[in-house]
Amino acid sequence: MSQPASALGRGWVRACRVDDVPRGGAVRVEFGRLPLAVVRSEDDEIFAILDVCSHADVPLSEGEVDDTTLECWLHGSRFDLRTGKPTGLPATRPVPVYRTMIDDGDVYIRLNEEK
């Protein structure tokens, strides 16, 4: 998206700097009671996903990133960062994912609209 952050409209919030997220890693950001994992792939794609595993209620941001999936550190459930759908057991329920955009090195997340 090429429009400046001031023109984004309601629902977009600044989460962090791109440089705060390690390549091939994730960081946790919280918006009130909503914990999100901001994930950066090895190809520098940025994703936002609920930071709670649907199987074991633990932070996904502490897991391993592999391309466009995030693996839960506790039991190995894997989630597609584009859809939130589980791609590996034991999780069977998806987790919400959120739209992201980069503006001037900042990561913005659209909170009021899941993908």
pLDDT exceeds cutoff 90 at 113: no
77 and 57 in contact (C-beta within 8 Å)? no
The structural architecture, per CATH, of the domain 5-114 is 3-layer Sandwich (2.102)
What is the average pLDDT across 102-106?
A: 97
67 and 42 in contact (C-beta within 8 Å)? yes
The domain limits of the chain are 5-114
User: What's the distance, CA 19 to chain centroid?
Assistant: 15
93 and 101 in contact (C-beta within 8 Å)? no
pTM of the predicted model as reported, rounded to 2 decimal places: 0.89
Predicted local distance difference test score (pLDDT) of residue 1:
36
Q: What does residue 47 show for φ and ψ, rounded to 5 degrees?
A: -130, 160
Strand, coil or helix: 68: coil
35 and 26 in contact (C-beta within 8 Å)? no
28-86 pLDDT, tens per residue?
999 999 999 999 999 999 999 999 999 998 999 999 999 999 999 999 999 999 999 99
Q: Which amino acid is at 19?
A: D
